[in-house]
Amino acid sequence: MNLTSRISNFEFENPLMNASGVWCKEAEQLDELKRSQAGTFVTKSATPQQREGNPSPRYVEVPLGSINSMGLPNKGFDFYLDYSLRYQNENPEKINFLSIAGMCADDNLEMLKKIDSSDFKGITELNLSCPNVPGKPQVGYDFEATEKILSQVYEFFQKPMGVKLPPYFDFAHFDQMAAILNKFPLQYVNCINSVGNGLYIDTDSESVVIKPKDGFGGIGGAYVKPTALANVRAFYTRLDSQIAVIGCGGVENGRDVFEHLLCGAQMVQIGTQLAKEGPQIFDRVLSELQTIMKEKGYNSIDDFRGKLKSI
Ligand code: DHB
């Protein structure tokens, strides 16, 4: 069975990978992803300098998913660039995604200049949608700021790049954001980041469950699958065909992956459920996906990718 997926000129053995933030902050975690069945991996969103992030508890599993307000804890940009350079040197036929999330536009430009002048051959992900740094709005909800940063980036940046978007909930916003993204030579857009600033509460203790921002945090897991699929579909149908879509949100099993692919995703990421099960989840989900494809008589993902039917 052919499970290959592509972003730009890169081909991956299968469409599965981690969602940035999950299992990808420490070298040991990235090593485990490398050894797993995932088609590739993405590193924790980096800032120019290392950060401790928000106070704990800051990630909690809840019945239908997770809530988090990590606050960008990471080992600093140089660590993830070095890790990625080592990976490509040790595995010349493979590449990974390198995620960056500056605290301001200048941070992002500084990191992108370093990537541009490095030997990095993989794909950069510019995260425009971190909801968890107090006082910092999500860039992806400010359409002018999104267009401005992309204009500044493409004045110099020559390497493959995609953007991680927040979820949108309105057709006018799908239309406006897609029109902006179509102006740039992006390789992909990643839909979606967590649904920002939800509030999960514990009825027994009558309190919030995470400490930062008085309990408000990004929601992931089953709660967000319909929103994720809607965003994948909305951007797949609006973006120029050379811009791929990566699907992220609510993936727990092979059926969820199949649905993201049907909506048009090239790669499909797993976050909350990866945090729960660990990297062996990729074996299970891949075999579930293959079972569904076999039942339906599909030999390759390209047989059904994007072909969601109307009624
Ligand atoms: C964090 C959360 C995100 O959703 C994101 O895109 C980047 C960082 C965080 O809290 O660390």
DSSP 69-104: -----BS-HHHHHHHHHHHHHH-TT---EEEE--SS
Is 104 marked active-site?
no
Chain centroid to CA 111: how far? 18
How do the domains of the chain map onto residue ranges?
5-55+72-196+221-303
Ligand 1 lined by 220 (C-beta under 6 Å): no
Write down the residue that tokens 């811009």 correspond to: 243
Q: Identify the residue whose C-alpha is closest to ligand 1 atom 3.
A: 130
Tally of residues, the chain: 311
Phi, psi of 106 (to 5 degrees): -65, -35
pTM here? 0.98
Is the domain spanning 5-55+72-196+221-303 CATH 3.10.20.30? The answer is no
Structure tokens given for 119: 């030997």
Whether the ω angle into residue 100 lies within 30 degrees of 0, i.e. cis, is no
Question: What three-state secondary structure class fits 282?
Answer: helix
CB-based contacts of 155: which residues, under 8 Å, 6+ apart? none
pLDDT in tens, the chain (311 residues): 999 999 999 999 999 999 999 999 999 999 999 999 999 999 999 999 999 999 999 999 999 999 999 999 999 999 999 999 999 999 999 999 999 999 999 999 999 999 999 999 999 999 999 999 888 899 999 999 999 999 999 999 999 999 999 999 999 999 999 999 999 999 999 999 999 999 999 999 999 999 999 999 999 999 999 999 999 999 999 999 999 999 999 999 999 999 999 999 999 999 999 999 999 999 999 999 999 999 999 999 999 999 999 99
Residue 47 φ/ψ, nearest 5 degrees: -110, 165
Take atom 11 of ligand 1 and give the residue whose Cα is closest.
72
Question: Which residue in the list 24, 104, 130, 248 is annotated as catalytic?
Answer: 130
* Ligand 1 lined by 193 (C-beta under 6 Å): yes
Testing ligand 1's pocket by substitution, the residue of 25, 72, 210, 219 carrying the most ligand atoms inside 8 A of its CB is 72
Is any atom of ligand 1 closer than 6 Å to the C-beta of 96? Answer: no
